[in-house]
Amino acid sequence: MTLDCNTRYDGGRTHPRPLSRQIDLMAGIVVTGASSGIGRAIAIRLAADTVARPRPTPTRMLIHYRCNRAGAEATANEVRGMGVDCQIMAADLSKIPTAEKFAQNALDQMGPIDTWVNNAGADVLTGEPAAWSFHEKLRWLLDVDLCGTAAVSRIVGPAMAEQDRPEHGEPEPGEPEPGEQKQDEKERGEKEHSENAGEGAAATPSMVFIGWDQAAEGMEGDAGMMFGPVKAAVMAFAASLAQTLAPRVRVNTVAPGWIQTAWGESTSEYWNERATTQALMGRWGRPSDVAAAVAYLSRPEAGFVTGQTVNVNGGWNRKFA
């Protein structure tokens, strides 16, 4: 049940561009599983947001992938084309030690993390795994989506909680210096109040997980019994992580509905009909719809949002046709 790919984990040495020397002043963004689909859309959207800020912060981005190096490079090139420093890093998150090494390498290379998006998830609908048994698929999904993601987050989250927070642009007069920021949580919470007011203020770093809008309510068949538990588990992990890391890191989940990715595009008339009927909006979702929600939750303006789930599912259609 182990999958091979041409690009094996290389300990984080896959960075084709020299590291910025301004690392301390930069806002680090990491998106896992960003070689295609929703992950790629998130990376591109977060890069666009960075550039569009009135006083753009120098930002560097890390694109994680497992096998699809060409896809990761394509994502990275789009990001670089927008003027954002970007590197790629391969890691098979289905192995705990590899996942942990990836997390540590990412932290080492990126410096302070502003935004971390846990988007990587196993694909059991296409390729070799499509032929696996239910239990093999469930296990593979748990290995990557839940256990691997948890391994990464349990290293990255506490590090984000401890880090000196990057500034968005120049601090306002009277703003605290990074070095002054290690206070007890209570004080920090209060200080936050004034800090976030200014555009240049430091923001609480943010983690976003990707869930599934149908997980808790259930879906019939093998797909429901497989993706439901796995994604419900991811969302529950995020909720507990939010309780654990607050108020130093915000943790939220975006729960997509039926999104037209590679799978959706090539799918049957049945799924086309189902996706467009079960969404109130009468259409498939797009990766950019999910990316926009991730972008909102990652911005300083969402500084009072943590432990929440935003469904991006076109609204569940409860009407009776």
| Identified binder of a second copy from the candidate list 158, 192, 264, 267, rule CB under 8 A | 192
Asked if residue 178 has a cis previous peptide bond (ω within 30° of 0), the answer is no
Is there binding between residue 282 and a second copy (CB under 8 A)? yes
Question: Please, are residues 209 and 251 in contact by the beta-carbon 8 Å criterion?
Answer: yes
Is there binding between residue 233 and a second copy (CB under 8 A)? yes
Provide the minimum distance between the beta carbon of 17 and a second copy in the complex, in angstroms, as a whole number.
Answer: 28
Stretch that binds a second copy, among 34-42, 67-75, 111-119, 271-279 (CB under 8 A): 271-279
Tokens for 83? 């003027």
Number of residues in contact with a second copy, rule: CB under 8 A? 93
Question: Please, are residues 291 and 39 in contact by the beta-carbon 8 Å criterion?
Answer: no
| Identified binder of a second copy from the candidate list 186, 265, 268, 269, rule CB under 8 A | 186
For the stretch 269-308, what's the b/e string if a residue is b when 16 or more beta carbons lie within 10 angstroms of its beta carbon?
A: eeeeeebeebbeeeebbbbebbbbbbbbbbbbebbeebbe
Is there binding between residue 20 and a second copy (CB under 8 A)? no
Q: Considering only residues 129-158, where is the footprint of a second copy by CB under 8 A?
A: 134-135, 138-139, 142, 146-147, 150-151, 154
Report the distance separating Cα 294 and Cα 102, nearest Å.
Answer: 22
Query: What binding mask, one character per residue, do residues 42-61 give for a second copy by CB under 8 A, x or -?
Result: ----------x-x-------
Continuous segment of H or E residues that includes residue 116: strand 113-118
Closest to a second copy by CB, 73 vs 195, is 195
Is there binding between residue 317 and a second copy (CB under 8 A)? yes
| Identified binder of a second copy from the candidate list 16, 81, 127, 218, rule CB under 8 A | 218
Report the candidate in 118, 149, 125, 154 with the shortest Cα–Cα distance to residue 39: 118
| Identified binder of a second copy from the candidate list 1, 240, 262, 266, rule CB under 8 A | 240
